[in-house]
Amino acid sequence: RNEIVHHAKAFQHIIHAFVTEKKDLTEDLIKETHRILTRGIPIVDSEGYLEVLPEEYGIYRTVIVSACTTNFTVPKFVPVKMKEMYDTLKEELIAAELQGAVDPFSIAAKYSLEFVQIHPFQDGNGRTCRMILNATLCRDTGVVVPIGERGEERAEYMGIKRRSSQHMEGHGEYATFVLQRASTRLREIKRSWLGRENSE
């Protein structure tokens, strides 16, 4: 229950800043979102020892991490890579708005995937990645895409992320996956509204 409450609070925090107030996605915003997300949720290793101390929540990691065959950014380069991500996202959003041609699915997929490939925190990167994805989508489309609710969907999502990291394939496959999930979500919302109207 605690994890659900903090997840909701963290999502509300990033949505309010990035979507409602139209602030930039910044280091402070991501760190505070991560801090809220992980607050009060102990991160323990297989032997039951604390792996991440509570005061380290919302702070970039200082240890090397990997997952299967994927090696993430070396700790000393994390701040630089994150700054590059924030700066290029800001530039891309400004350019897209000036041109009047925003592809929110491509942008959301690109930067949430880049975030998870950097893996700036010791824990909670996947959850924070999906918050970045949905905050970016919500800002331009008003749509939130739940990902990983079903086992097969989660396996597909993890496979896309793994292939992108291993083969440097870019974010195209992920953007298509997100677009498909968004289309499904919109159809579900439409059916729900039509059902509500028919019952009134």
For the chain, the structural domain boundaries read 2-199
pLDDT of residue 52: 60
CB 34 within 8 A of CB 61: no
Higher pLDDT, 54 or 20: 20
Average pLDDT, the chain: 84
pLDDT of residue 60: 95
CB atoms within 10 A of CB 118: 21
In 3D space, the residue among 184, 18, 176 whose CA is nearest the CA of residue 103 turns out to be 176
Query: Between β-strands 50-52 and 43-44, what pairing exists: parallel, antiparallel or unpaired?
Result: antiparallel
pLDDT of residue 74: 94
d(CA 173, CA 152): 16
Active site residue 119: yes
CATH number for the domain whose boundaries are 2-199: 1.10.3290.10
pLDDT of residue 129: 93
Binding residues for ATP, as ranges, are: 123-130
Q: Is the pLDDT of residue 57 over 90?
A: no
Q: Which of 13, 119, 167, 171 is labelled catalytic? A: 119
pLDDT digits 0-9 by tens, 65-78: 877 767 789 999 99
Binding residues, as ranges, are: 123-130
pLDDT band at 171 (very low <50, low <70, confident <90, very high): confident
pLDDT of residue 178: 86
* Angle of the 104-118 helix axis to the 172-199 helix axis, nearest 10: 120
